[in-house]
């Protein structure tokens, strides 16, 4: 009987459902292990073959851990809110909930066919009120907390209120939008409204007027990580800067902890590096520059305080408040014109015109606090309002932007750092600024002669002592804009009273998403929720009309899986204390600066509240590589309906046409399928080579338009789920990106058939014997146990599969069909090919699932060799092999090898300079002459 994967897979998938094989619950007698996949957004296109790559890897690891005695939590769910369903709703009027449910059903169907060990009782959907209840709840908590830098954690806003009552801002160190200073008396004199405005300056979820990334085509704002090169990541629409009142999350309060936490978690270096860059910590100094004939001081941030003697001008960001204060009347018109002009420039233009410097002089002069020189103050959009203080000191000789600006407006460029081993140069001949990270200070007063690091320290010291400035750490990480002007998202648990935001009570949650007549903004330009009838509290106060962004629902889903049905809290302390954190998280790098920052922030906040027991949510994270598409081409002779095979195309004038890869096998075109594909090709003629039509190929993005999308269902129907699982893993290292290439899938399928035939003969009879295993057979088995255990531990699934193949080939050669060998082998293979192994496991007479078997123990005794085939090298080149006893001491080995006649041939009349013997490894003979 042949290996009938269709029947086998159907049978065991049903068995697993019937026996609740993958249901898990808290079991204090077993160690826990939590394996998590990044949950998918259920798109209308369904899963393609790239999606399950990570799921298969995590599934193998989950099953492996279970076989090793762990209680494994391995859940799955859906990131169900998102733009595509809403865009579809706008076009068709179909409620996004319906679209989403349909897509989820399709995803589920596809996932089920692959044989995953998910506990579906724990499924979460972010659009489910029982789920977003806790998203809304967390938002309320953030609104009700502020970040205290002394305690280095979030504290209740009541504590801040009490403090203001008692001592105002005196001694307060808190994360804030802007630095405020008032006494207790001043606080008490403030009106309720004023007090609330002040509190928004501290709340971790707060309303503020900010410059946002406005995408007119989508009709909404976007977070920084949702914008790529001035275009929206979804849809590729242009994005512009706009000032709007929005909800924000004070992620920046956690910048330092987010950075430090990276050192405690097992993530890839590249991913950590991306996060470090995104957080962008830079240590520097804040310095105050007095302004001539003015009370105003310009505060600037610099990481290179040592170059202060090289400053020849100051630059303000156009949005800086100082622009109005400093601009001299006679320059006002010019400055206004410039501000007007820059406002019109989109983010996109600012980025593409990097080289072109624009700016305007304000007429004001600042005074260099160290050199006492007067220096002109300019305005230019190359300075960003959002970073540092929105004002800079320009050091044109050593900063390329400042240099370009100085050249454009003909400002002086004095050199203050001389690189090691060079003489001071003539800056008027320079094409660009010169690097100044290393070198010696010149033209810098009391800093002259010092090295750069010394000068930085000395200047900082000087600033602090004289009160001119202070040492300061800046972060690039911005607060996350949390409002979206969309329908299909979580409603905010917020209402407005006299224009001030208030939170719903916790017992009023969840606040369900209302129905609307259209999924479009109102005529007044308000978000879709403004269309909802009765969108007010019981008392009649209007509810917030914005909704939350995509990352809201994905920021704590891993916690909800621990206790998905709890209606009283996000996760019970019992469940959280047992499951703790995610031991292994598998997903793509594309979430490096979005989800993986926000969920770490969210988790740290909940940790501060004592709601979760771990500061970092994801202990180990493995990035799976992207699966690219592999397109196939046919070559049409221009102006005809004739197609020529790949290697003949040079003889004709042809054009390349994409063909659906699903009708190409091993680059050979299925001509009948091609003719049926499109009426245009019905009567196509073919010029073949060797009787076949060979297609060309290229690696491209996997997309419908390239006809290179391969669905897992197709592969499952053709080869079975076990083959798909094996092949996805066999393709190469998990972390590496690679094109999906079905060439080669026959190899793993053949392997599974070979496994089948070790157990079952042609008549379908079990041929397993109870005879005792030989030493040789045991060696094969234990070599495989060792190799596959090591490989699974380090996520090297492709090499694990190779070693299975070697093992099965060896057992075939040995004609081994002994239970003592085959049964442990089956357990090893079960995480990879669960259906086949379950079938054979039961054929062997077992009652329960192979999932509850025990991973075979490795016994090194079986691998001990009495002799070793030493490779013998001459000057590092391997020449022949020599079998010697394994325990022969190196001196004996040397003697033996020199006495060998093959060695003599190679030595001939040359002089033996040295013999290196690495016991058990290699012999190298160094000869000269």
Among 50, 310, 388, 720, which residue interacts with RNA (rule: CB under 7 A)? 388
Nearer to RNA, 514 or 919 (CB): 919
- Interface pattern 806-825 for RNA (x via CB under 7 A): x--x--xx------------
Degrees to nearest 5, angle at CA 63 with 61 and 69: 105
Nearer to RNA, 322 or 606 (CB): 322
Nearer to RNA, 89 or 287 (CB): 287
Among 764, 881, 886, 895, which residue interacts with RNA (rule: CB under 7 A)? 881
If one asks whether residue 926 binds RNA (CB under 7 A), the answer comes out as: yes
Nearer to RNA, 546 or 924 (CB): 924
Hunting for tokens 């917020």 — which residue is that? 494
Residue 682: CB atoms within 10 Å = 11
Nearer to RNA, 412 or 876 (CB): 876
Residue 247: CB atoms within 10 Å = 23
Hunting for tokens 């190929």 — which residue is that? 697
CA-nearest of 89, 68, 71 to 35 is 71
Nearer to RNA, 412 or 744 (CB): 744
If one asks whether residue 273 binds RNA (CB under 7 A), the answer comes out as: yes
CB 399 → RNA: shortest distance, Å? 6
CB 854 → RNA: shortest distance, Å? 22
CA-nearest of 154, 149, 39 to 604 is 154
Among 412, 445, 732, 889, which residue interacts with RNA (rule: CB under 7 A)? 732
- Interface pattern 524-543 for RNA (x via CB under 7 A): --------------------
Among 99, 302, 444, 546, which residue interacts with RNA (rule: CB under 7 A)? 302
If one asks whether residue 798 binds RNA (CB under 7 A), the answer comes out as: yes
Angstrom distances, CA of residue 693 to CA of 640, 671, 733, 851: 17, 8, 32, 45
CB 691 → RNA: shortest distance, Å? 10
- The DSSP bridge partners found for residue 451 are 440
CA-nearest of 559, 622, 611 to 585 is 622
Per the omega criterion (within 30 degrees of 0), is the bond before 805 cis? no
Among 730, 759, 795, 858, which residue interacts with RNA (rule: CB under 7 A)? 730
Nearer to RNA, 603 or 796 (CB): 796
Nearer to RNA, 341 or 914 (CB): 914
Nearer to RNA, 240 or 746 (CB): 746
CB 459 → RNA: shortest distance, Å? 12
CB 503 → RNA: shortest distance, Å? 32
Among 17, 105, 878, 886, which residue interacts with RNA (rule: CB under 7 A)? 878
Q: Which listed range, 57-65, 86-94, 349-357, 817-825, lies at the site for RNA (CB under 7 A)?
A: 349-357
CB 52 → RNA: shortest distance, Å? 17
CB 326 within 8 A of CB 291: yes
Structure tokens at 43: 């798109």
Among 108, 153, 328, 401, which residue interacts with RNA (rule: CB under 7 A)? 401
Among 231, 331, 387, 652, which residue interacts with RNA (rule: CB under 7 A)? 387
Among 303, 443, 580, 714, which residue interacts with RNA (rule: CB under 7 A)? 303
If one asks whether residue 4 binds RNA (CB under 7 A), the answer comes out as: no
Among 122, 460, 725, 787, which residue interacts with RNA (rule: CB under 7 A)? 787
Categorise residue 580: left if φ over 0, alpha if ψ from -120 to 50, beta otherwise. left
If one asks whether residue 746 binds RNA (CB under 7 A), the answer comes out as: yes
In whole angstroms, give the CA distance from residue 3 to residue 836: 9
H or E stretch covering 790: helix 775-793
Among 722, 741, 777, 894, which residue interacts with RNA (rule: CB under 7 A)? 741
Distance of CA 806 to the CA centre of its chain: 35
If one asks whether residue 277 binds RNA (CB under 7 A), the answer comes out as: yes
SS3 label, residue 627:
strand
Among 144, 871, 907, 910, which residue interacts with RNA (rule: CB under 7 A)? 871
CA-nearest of 585, 560, 572 to 123 is 560
If one asks whether residue 256 binds RNA (CB under 7 A), the answer comes out as: no
Among 593, 624, 654, 723, which residue interacts with RNA (rule: CB under 7 A)? 593
Distance of CA 338 to the CA centre of its chain: 40
Among 140, 265, 392, 509, which residue interacts with RNA (rule: CB under 7 A)? 392
Residues 32-51 interacting with RNA (rule: CB under 7 A)? none
Number of residues that bind RNA (CB under 7 A): 90
Residues 223-252 interacting with RNA (rule: CB under 7 A)? 224-225, 228
If one asks whether residue 791 binds RNA (CB under 7 A), the answer comes out as: yes
In whole angstroms, give the CA distance from residue 391 to residue 483: 29
Among 148, 226, 381, 660, which residue interacts with RNA (rule: CB under 7 A)? 381
User: Measured over all CA atoms, what is the biggest interatomic distance in the chain, rounded to whole angstroms?
Assistant: 106
End-to-end CA distance of the chain: 65
- The DSSP bridge partners found for residue 285 are 302, 471
CA-nearest of 648, 378, 597, 573 to 480 is 597
Residues 127-146 interacting with RNA (rule: CB under 7 A)? none
Q: Which listed range, 366-374, 703-711, 828-836, 877-885, lies at the site for RNA (CB under 7 A)?
A: 877-885
If one asks whether residue 318 binds RNA (CB under 7 A), the answer comes out as: no
Q: What is the 3-state secondary structure (H, E, C) of 308-364?
A: HHHCCEEEECCCCCHHHHHCCHHHHHHHHHHHHHHHHCCHHHHHHCCCCCCCEEEEE
Among 86, 119, 148, 399, which residue interacts with RNA (rule: CB under 7 A)? 399
Nearer to RNA, 90 or 882 (CB): 882
If one asks whether residue 274 binds RNA (CB under 7 A), the answer comes out as: yes
In whole angstroms, give the CA distance from residue 135 to residue 556: 8
Backbone angles phi, psi at 516, to 5 degrees: -130, 160
If one asks whether residue 321 binds RNA (CB under 7 A), the answer comes out as: no
If one asks whether residue 914 binds RNA (CB under 7 A), the answer comes out as: yes
In whole angstroms, give the CA distance from residue 414 to residue 717: 73
Nearer to RNA, 327 or 623 (CB): 623
Residues 488-527 interacting with RNA (rule: CB under 7 A)? none
If one asks whether residue 875 binds RNA (CB under 7 A), the answer comes out as: yes
Q: Which listed range, 58-66, 362-370, 394-402, 412-420, lies at the site for RNA (CB under 7 A)?
A: 394-402
Q: What is the 3-state secondary structure (H, E, C) of 390-441?
A: CEEEECCCCCHHHHHHHHHHCCCCCCCEECCCCCCCCHHHCCCCCCCCCCEE
Q: What is the 3-state secondary structure (H, E, C) of 485-550?
A: CCCCCCECCEEEECCEEEECCHHHCCCCCCCCCCCCCCCCCCCHHHHCCCCECCCCCEECCCECCH
The residue length of the chain stands at 929
- Interface pattern 663-682 for RNA (x via CB under 7 A): ---x----------------
If one asks whether residue 799 binds RNA (CB under 7 A), the answer comes out as: yes
**Concatenated DSSP letters of 730-780:** HTS-TTS-EE---TTHHHHHHHHHHHHHHHB-TTS-B--B-PPPPHHHHHH
CA-nearest of 144, 252, 110, 216 to 716 is 110
If one asks whether residue 737 binds RNA (CB under 7 A), the answer comes out as: yes
CB 307 → RNA: shortest distance, Å? 8
Hunting for tokens 């209308």 — which residue is that? 44
Nearer to RNA, 43 or 282 (CB): 282
Residues 350-379 interacting with RNA (rule: CB under 7 A)? 350-351, 353-354, 357
Nearer to RNA, 220 or 593 (CB): 593
Q: Which listed range, 70-78, 214-222, 275-283, 413-421, lies at the site for RNA (CB under 7 A)?
A: 275-283
């Amino acid at each position: 009987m042949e290996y009938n994967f269709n029947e086998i897979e159907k049978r065991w998938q049903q068995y697993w459902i019937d026996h609740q094989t993958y249901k898990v619950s808290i079991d204090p007698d077993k160690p826990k292990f939590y394996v998590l996949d990044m949950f998918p957004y259920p798109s209308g296109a369904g899963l393609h073959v790239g999606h399950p790559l990570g799921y298969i890897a995590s599934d193998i690891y989950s099953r492996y851990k279970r076989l090793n005695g762990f209680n494994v939590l391995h859940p799955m769910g859906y990131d169900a809110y998102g733009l595509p369903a809403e865009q579809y709703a706008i076009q068709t009027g179909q409620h996004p909930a319906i679209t989403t449910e349909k897509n989820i059903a399709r995803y589920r169907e596809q996932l089920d066919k692959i044989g995953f060990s998910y506990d579906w009782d724990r499924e979460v959907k972010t659009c489910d009120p029982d789920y977003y209840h806790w998203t809304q709840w967390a938002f309320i908590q953030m609104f009700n907390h502020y970040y205290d830098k002394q305690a280095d954690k979030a504290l209740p806003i009541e504590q801040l209120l009490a403090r203001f009552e008692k001592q105002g801002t005196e001694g307060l160190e808190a994360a804030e939008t802007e630095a405020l200073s008032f006494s207790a008396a001043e606080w008490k004199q403030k009106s309720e409204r004023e007090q609330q405005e002040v509190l928004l300056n501290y709340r971790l979820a707060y309303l503020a007027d900010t410059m946002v990334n406005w995408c007119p085509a989508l009709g909404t704002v976007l977070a920084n990580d949702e914008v790529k090169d001035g275009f929206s990541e979804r849809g590729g629409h242009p994005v512009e800067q706009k000032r709007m009142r929005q909800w924000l999350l004070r992620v920046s309060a956690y910048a330092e902890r987010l950075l430090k936490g990276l050192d405690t978690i097992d993530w890839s270096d590249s991913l950590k590096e991306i996060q470090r860059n995104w957080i962008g910590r830079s240590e520097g100094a804040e310095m105050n520059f007095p302004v001539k004939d003015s009370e105003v001081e310009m505060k600037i941030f610099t990481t290179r305080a040592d170059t202060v003697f090289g400053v020849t001008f100051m630059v303000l960001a156009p949005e800086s408040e100082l622009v109005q204060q400093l601009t001299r009347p006679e320059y006002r018109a010019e400055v206004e014109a410039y501000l007007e002009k820059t406002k019109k420039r989109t983010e996109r233009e600012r980025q593409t015109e990097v080289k072109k410097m624009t700016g305007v002089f304000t007429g004001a002069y600042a005074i260099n606090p160290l050199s006492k020189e007067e220096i002109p103050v300019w305005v230019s959009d190359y300075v960003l309002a959002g970073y540092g203080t929105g004002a800079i000191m320009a050091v044109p000789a050593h900063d390329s932007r400042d240099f370009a600006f100085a050249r454009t407006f003909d400002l002086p460029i004095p050199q203050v750092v001389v690189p090691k081993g060079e003489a001071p140069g003539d800056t008027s001949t320079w094409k660009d600024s010169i690097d100044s990270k290393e070198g010696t200070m010149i033209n810098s007063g009391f800093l002259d002669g010092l090295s750069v690091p010394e000068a930085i320290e000395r200047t900082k010291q000087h600033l602090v002592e004289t009160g001119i400035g202070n040492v300061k750490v800046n972060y690039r990480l911005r607060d996350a804009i949390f409002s979206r002007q969309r329908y299909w998202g979580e409603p905010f648990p917020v209402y407005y009273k006299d224009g001030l935001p208030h939170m719903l009570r916790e017992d009023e949650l969840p606040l369900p998403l209302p129905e609307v007549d259209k999924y479009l903004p109102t005529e007044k330009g308000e978000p879709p929720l403004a269309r909802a009838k009765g969108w007010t509290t019981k008392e009649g106060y209007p509810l917030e009309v914005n909704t939350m962004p995509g990352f809201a629902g994905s920021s704590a889903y891993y916690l909800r899986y621990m206790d998905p049905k709890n209606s009283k809290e996000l996760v019970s302390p019992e469940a959280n204390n047992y499951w703790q954190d995610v031991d292994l998280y598998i997903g793509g790098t594309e979430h490096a600066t979005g989800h993986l920052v926000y969920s770490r922030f969210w988790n740290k906040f909940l940790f501060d509240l004592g709601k979760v027991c771990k500061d970092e949510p994801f202990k180990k994270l493995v990035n799976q590589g992207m699966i690219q598409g592999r397109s196939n081409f046919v070559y049409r002779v221009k102006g005809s309906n004739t197609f020529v095979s790949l290697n003949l195309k040079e003889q004709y004038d042809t054009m390349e046409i994409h063909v659906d890869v699903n009708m190409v096998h091993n680059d050979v075109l299925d001509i009948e399928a091609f003719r049926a594909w499109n009426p245009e090709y019905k009567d196509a003629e073919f010029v073949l080579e060797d009787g076949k039509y060979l297609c060309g190929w290229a690696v491209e993005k996997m997309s419908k338009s390239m006809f290179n999308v391969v669905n897992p269902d197709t592969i499952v129907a053709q080869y079975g789920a076990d083959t798909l699982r094996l092949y996805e893993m066999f393709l190469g290292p998990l972390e590496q990106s690679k094109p999906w290439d079905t060439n080669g899938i026959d190899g793993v399928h053949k392997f599974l058939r070979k496994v089948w035939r070790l157990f079952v003969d042609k008549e379908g009879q079990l041929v397993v014997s109870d005879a005792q295993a030989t030493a040789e057979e045991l060696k094969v088995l234990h070599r495989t146990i060792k190799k596959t255990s090591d490989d699974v531990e380090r996520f090297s699934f492709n090499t694990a599969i190779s070693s299975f193949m070697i093992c099965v080939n060896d057992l075939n050669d040995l004609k081994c069909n002994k239970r003592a060998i085959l049964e442990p082998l089956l357990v090893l293979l079960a995480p990879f090919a669960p259906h086949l192994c379950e079938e054979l496991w039961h054929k062997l007479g077992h009652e329960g699932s192979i999932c509850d078997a025990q991973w075979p123990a490795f016994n090194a005794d079986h691998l001990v060799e009495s002799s070793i085939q030493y490779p013998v090298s001459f000057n590092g080149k391997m020449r022949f092999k020599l079998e010697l006893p394994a325990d022969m001491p190196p001196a004996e080995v040397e003697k033996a090898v020199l006495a060998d006649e093959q060695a003599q041939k190679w030595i001939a009349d040359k002089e033996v300079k040295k013999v290196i013997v690495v016991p058990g490894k290699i012999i190298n003979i160094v000869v000269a002459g």
